[in-house]
Amino acid sequence: MTGVFVGGSRRLVRLDQRIRERASGLIEEGFVVLEGDANGADKAIQKFFAERAYPNVVVYHAGSKLMT
């Protein structure tokens, strides 16, 4: 199983068409997606995969507390 980390700027709030196409390609190829939990790009990409009910997503949290 192949995985990829996806992340970006906290200032980014919307994914442009090119990013959505690349993320769709990750789904088509069945990649495991590791992503962060910060506001901005992380939340936007989380939303993208959640809207598509893509199950192969792991949200990485670097803090000291588990988020629920």
Phi, psi (degrees; rounded to nearest 5) at 39: -65, 165
Domains held by the chain: number: 1
With respect to residue 47, please indicate whether it lies within any of the assigned structural domains: yes
With respect to residue 65, please indicate whether it lies within any of the assigned structural domains: no
**Residue 65 pLDDT more than 80?**
no
In the chain, the DSSP E strands lie at 3-6, 32-35, 57-59
With respect to residue 1, please indicate whether it lies within any of the assigned structural domains: no
Q: Across the strands, what pairs with 58?
A: 34
pLDDT score of 57: 95
With respect to residue 28, please indicate whether it lies within any of the assigned structural domains: yes
With respect to residue 27, please indicate whether it lies within any of the assigned structural domains: yes
Range of the domain at 33: 8-59
Say how far apart CA 55 and CA 62 lie, in whole Å. Answer: 21
With respect to residue 43, please indicate whether it lies within any of the assigned structural domains: yes
Residue type, 12: L
With respect to residue 22, please indicate whether it lies within any of the assigned structural domains: yes
- The confidence band for 1, taking pLDDT boundaries of 50, 70 and 90, is low
Per-residue model confidence as pLDDT tens digits over 7-52: 888 898 899 999 999 999 999 999 999 998 889 999 999 999 999 9
Average pLDDT over residues 56-68: 77
The total of other beta-carbon atoms located within 10 Å of residue 43's CB is 16
